[in-house]
Structure 1
Amino acid sequence: MSENRKIAEDVIEAVGGRENIQSVAHCATRLRIMVNDKEKINQEQVEEIGKVKGAFFNSGQYQIIFGTGTVNKIYEEVSNLGLDTNSASDQKKEAIKSGSTFQRAIRTFGDVFVPIIPVLVATGLFMGLRGLVMQEQILSLFGMTPDDISQNFLLFTQVLTDTAFVFLPALVAWSTFRVFGGTPIIGLILGLMLVSPALPNAYAVAGGDAEALHFLGFIPVVGYQGSVIPAFIAGILGAKLERAIRKRVPESLDLITTPFLTLLVMITVSLLIIGPIFHTVETGILSVATKVLSWPFGISGLLIGGLNQLIVITGVHHVFNMLEIQLLAEFKNNPYNAIITCSVAAQGGAALAVGLKTKSAKLKALALPSSFSAFLGITEPAIFGVNLRYGKPFIMALIGGAAGGFTASILGLKATGMAVTVIPGTLLYLNGQILQYILVNVIAIAVAFILTWMFGFSDKVKKEIEQ
């Protein structure tokens, strides 16, 4: 019997047997199991299984952390054993019925914005690379100056860096329609209408180069390039309107009537009501966030860097995706990323200290790979498998995150993108900030490592906790 087959069988037994399992799915790092009775799960038995880096119950699912690559192999073995398997999205629909109203709302919010993140990550990397090649020090290596860069090349880089944000409302409306049960292509067209070239460009209006149209003499109408909330609200209402219309029109007329009425009503309501109101709300949120991030003496970095991973544990951190998207769309930079990368790095530093200090071969085999995973930007193995399990390492990591975040705030670090941190995140700071970025990460890791080594962990404490 292969090792992975044995692990799959052990997992099934530890979660209460076949009869306690509704379905099994997986994401990038975790095996996700829907169970009938979570009281039948033997947590200690699960954590003793080889290759398991931690496990917890969240959002109606029992999630077992195996790590990238490994989880695919374990899932395949579970599937071969004849258990019901599901896609992660289908299982999420089952799980969404569980949890509080607030948890379900946050989960839905994440479902809308998470699919958009990859293209914004790519855009951020393009911005970082453009910043790198445009630096005078880099150009001088090739005997060039910024004046030697051709306009055609600059136009090409502008296409790479601006497109996703110019058409951001289209991406948001598409994803919102998809999540709320509408037809995604209708959402996409509605979003494109919000940035139609027939409307005054939002950036031009803001810069004083164009004037807003005025309906009824007082309603300002502009394009919504780079906006998030108006498209999000329009997407929710549009999806619900489409479903309501579809229920009421004859099937023979559905193809013509439903999209026609949905787009006609929604673009009118979006431009005249939703847009003006919620663009003001969006501007207010952005203004408050900007003020918080610019608090003096590094206070914002200290608080956000220290508390971020606590928020990650609750699962509501997806709320901040919208903030990061807004920051990038409005200012083309993201100081929030510079702070949270320190909180991520610190979790890796604490797990590294545990792995190097313990004499337990099993804990070493868990902690060291978990720390490396955190240095690649994925903290769940380090948090749930090591730091939170033994308590103090997690606290020391929060302190390390606060120290790094404080330094990032003092230095005024600002990423060119979002969603990637620590080692992969270096690509977001190639515009002359790379040394400062390395410094804040080193501070976060070092503080968390030293505090964990000195005060946060010992094998004696490990034995006391596991007894």
Structure 2
Amino acid sequence: MAVNRQSVEQIVEAIGGKDNIVAASHCVTRLRFALKDESKVDKEKLESIDLVKGSFSANGQFQVVIGQGVVDKVYHELTEITGIGRATKQDVKDAAEKKLNPLQRAIKTLADIFIPILPAIVTAGLLMGIHNLLAGPGIFYEDQALIDVHTQWADLADIINLIANTAFVFLPALIGWSAVKKFGGSPLLGVVLGLMLVHPALLNAWAYAEAVQEGTDPTWNLFGLEVSKIGYQGQVLPVLFAAYVLAKVEQFLDRRVPDAFKLLVVAPVTLLLTGFLAFTLIGPVTFAAGNAITSAFVTLFEHFALLGGLIYGGLYAVLVVTGMHHTFLAVDLQLIGTIGGTFLWPILALSNISQGSAALAMMFASRDKKIKGLSLTSSVSAYLGITEPAMFGVNLRFKYPFICALIGSATAAAFITLNQVRAASIGVGGLPGFLSIFPQQWGAFFIGMAIALIVPFALTLGYAKLRGGQV
């Protein structure tokens, strides 16, 4: 698709001119700006430009949705028109981060840690879904799994399960790599730290509670100090805090140890000191904190399932707008590691579907060809787990589709939480999301999906007709 230079000039003018741009980069679908003053942006003028499919501000960045395959051409024209140098996404993030308050910085830090490892986790979730199809009883045969009837598939299912479980069994290594990298340390040491916390010589974290009850939990005796000899499989907080300590210790030593001795001193001392702190202080404290957080969520959704579903389902898309949804990825992983499944992630999948349905309704409600086309493509994207085009390009622009989507999501979430639907893993948060749900709960989840498909669509289309359908 050819890019009209005049349209790019209009984009620059609508965001406050080239003097308002601190840095600019692009991702697969969006231009990303760090702006001096976002109040200078004329959103109405910006979104009237044919190239622009929507815009929003998040984490200190102003982002303009252009579309896959076109955005790189627009960015090329943008750099020529403004004279700004090409910047990486990290450059824009660094420039934008200066404007964030402490809470926003904390949320952004979590996002920067977990987003890089999402592909591995989502892939594992999809593979676990395939294993569930093969090994789940009652899917193809009554009270029997496919591998029980066709035993030649059993070993294949076992291999798939091993491959799928790897990302979750060694989750601390993934988090350690990403967290230490974010905190400014050596990512390789982060991997070693994570693996150290799940070493086979340690008592498996999932067997810890039973060992404590039986009085068989192993300990180290460090000159009179009793230290639990347990691993932290499936735990998030221990490796997060230990990664921060490791990065800071490494930076401290790296600044003070002469170059000739760095190889012999920095990494060994960093790992030794961090490992000691991880097992004696950081691990026990954060392990208890993580279990307390898990217990709080479990208690809420067990005793107040309807309320929990309504609130989380109704507010999840709002959390996405603010960027706070990234904090709940850590909770999902903690729940999966502690109780074997998460009741929060299925709500995410239904929220994405609801946003897609509301956007799809706008295709029928609108008389504008551009809105019709954007509504259709963005709804398909949302059904496959990517909601930004639907939310920021359509639903939030007209407001009422977004509200209708929240109502649909809340209703669907309340239903599935009442039926105790859980996901065994994190997967693709849209229509393929059923693959991550425990097979015995598919029936309830499919009903929840139907609610998320129908309610937002009907409410959005109905409201549009009530107001005359002038969109």
Normalised by the length of structure 2, the TM-score is 0.90
1:435 to 1:30, Cα distance in 2 relative to 1, 3 A: farther
User: What code does the residue aligned with 2:294 have?
Assistant: L
* Aligned: 1:443 with 2:437: no
User: What code does the residue aligned with 2:22 have?
Assistant: Q
8 A Cα contact 2:56 2:62, kept in partner: yes
1:419 to 1:90, Cα distance in 2 relative to 1, 3 A: farther
Instruction: Please point out which of 197, 204, 212 is paired with 1:194.
Output: 197
Alignment of 1:9-28 (within 5 A): 9-28=9-28
* Aligned: 1:38 with 2:27: no
Partner of 2:217: 211
8 A Cα contact 1:302 1:403, kept in partner: yes
Partner of 1:113: 114
- Partners of 1:424 and 1:69 in 2: CA distance: 25
8 A Cα contact 2:349 2:431, kept in partner: no
* Aligned: 1:418 with 2:407: no
1:336 to 1:68, Cα distance in 2 relative to 1, 3 A: farther
Q: Secondary structure at the match of 1:105?
A: helix
Q: Secondary structure at the match of 2:49?
A: coil
CA deviations 1:255-286 (Å, max 9, x no partner) are 22111111111101111111111111111111
- Partners of 2:47 and 2:358 in 1: CA distance: 20
CA deviations 1:406-457 (Å, max 9, x no partner) are 1211232222322521223233247354444332122112111111222356
1:144 to 1:157, Cα distance in 2 relative to 1, 3 A: closer
State the shift of 1:230 in Å: 0.6
User: What code does the residue aligned with 1:285 have?
Assistant: I
8 A Cα contact 1:337 1:415, kept in partner: yes
1:7 to 1:153, Cα distance in 2 relative to 1, 3 A: same
8 A Cα contact 2:3 2:73, kept in partner: no
CA deviations 1:159-193 (Å, max 9, x no partner) are 21322222111211221110011111111112211
1:186 to 1:367, Cα distance in 2 relative to 1, 3 A: same
- Partners of 1:424 and 1:68 in 2: CA distance: 22
1:147 to 1:357, Cα distance in 2 relative to 1, 3 A: closer
State the shift of 1:331 in Å: 3.2
Q: Secondary structure at the match of 2:265?
A: helix
* Aligned: 1:64 with 2:64: yes
Give RMSD over aligned pairs: 2.7
User: What code does the residue aligned with 2:49 have?
Assistant: I
8 A Cα contact 1:139 1:145, kept in partner: no
Partner of 1:366: 374
Instruction: Please point out which of 157, 160, 168 is paired with 1:157.
Output: 160
State the shift of 1:59 in Å: 2.6
Alignment of 1:395-410 (within 5 A): 395-410=403-418
Alignment of 1:95-114 (within 5 A): 95-114=96-115
Instruction: Please point out which of 234, 237, 262 is paired with 1:254.
Output: 262
- Partners of 1:377 and 1:403 in 2: CA distance: 19
Partner of 1:181: 184
State the shift of 1:144 in Å: 5.9
Partner of 1:286: 294
- Partners of 1:166 and 1:341 in 2: CA distance: 24
- Partners of 1:337 and 1:379 in 2: CA distance: 15
State the shift of 1:321 in Å: 0.7
User: What code does the residue aligned with 1:135 have?
Assistant: G
1:66 to 1:434, Cα distance in 2 relative to 1, 3 A: farther
Q: Secondary structure at the match of 2:34?
A: strand
Moved more, 204-213 or 15-24: 204-213
Instruction: Please point out which of 345, 351, 355 is paired with 2:359.
Output: 351
State the shift of 1:27 in Å: 2.5
8 A Cα contact 2:126 2:428, kept in partner: no
8 A Cα contact 1:354 1:457, kept in partner: no
State the shift of 1:324 in Å: 0.9
1:151 to 1:39, Cα distance in 2 relative to 1, 3 A: closer
Normalised by the length of structure 1, the TM-score is 0.91
State the shift of 1:5 in Å: 4.5
Partner of 1:169: 172
- Partners of 2:203 and 2:424 in 1: CA distance: 27
Partner of 1:126: 127
* Aligned: 1:303 with 2:311: yes
Q: Secondary structure at the match of 2:385?
A: coil
Q: Secondary structure at the match of 2:318?
A: helix
- Partners of 1:144 and 1:233 in 2: CA distance: 42
8 A Cα contact 2:332 2:344, kept in partner: yes
1:153 to 1:11, Cα distance in 2 relative to 1, 3 A: same
- Partners of 1:458 and 1:63 in 2: CA distance: 32
1:84 to 1:153, Cα distance in 2 relative to 1, 3 A: same
Residue identity over aligned pairs, in percent, reads 37
User: What code does the residue aligned with 1:99 have?
Assistant: L
State the shift of 1:80 in Å: 5.8
User: What code does the residue aligned with 1:356 have?
Assistant: F
Alignment of 1:65-80 (within 5 A): 65-79=65-79
Partner of 2:280: 272
8 A Cα contact 1:139 1:146, kept in partner: no
- Partners of 1:37 and 1:45 in 2: CA distance: 17
- Partners of 2:419 and 2:145 in 1: CA distance: 30
Partner of 1:148: 151
CA deviations 1:328-380 (Å, max 9, x no partner) are 22233222121122222111222222220122223223322222222122222
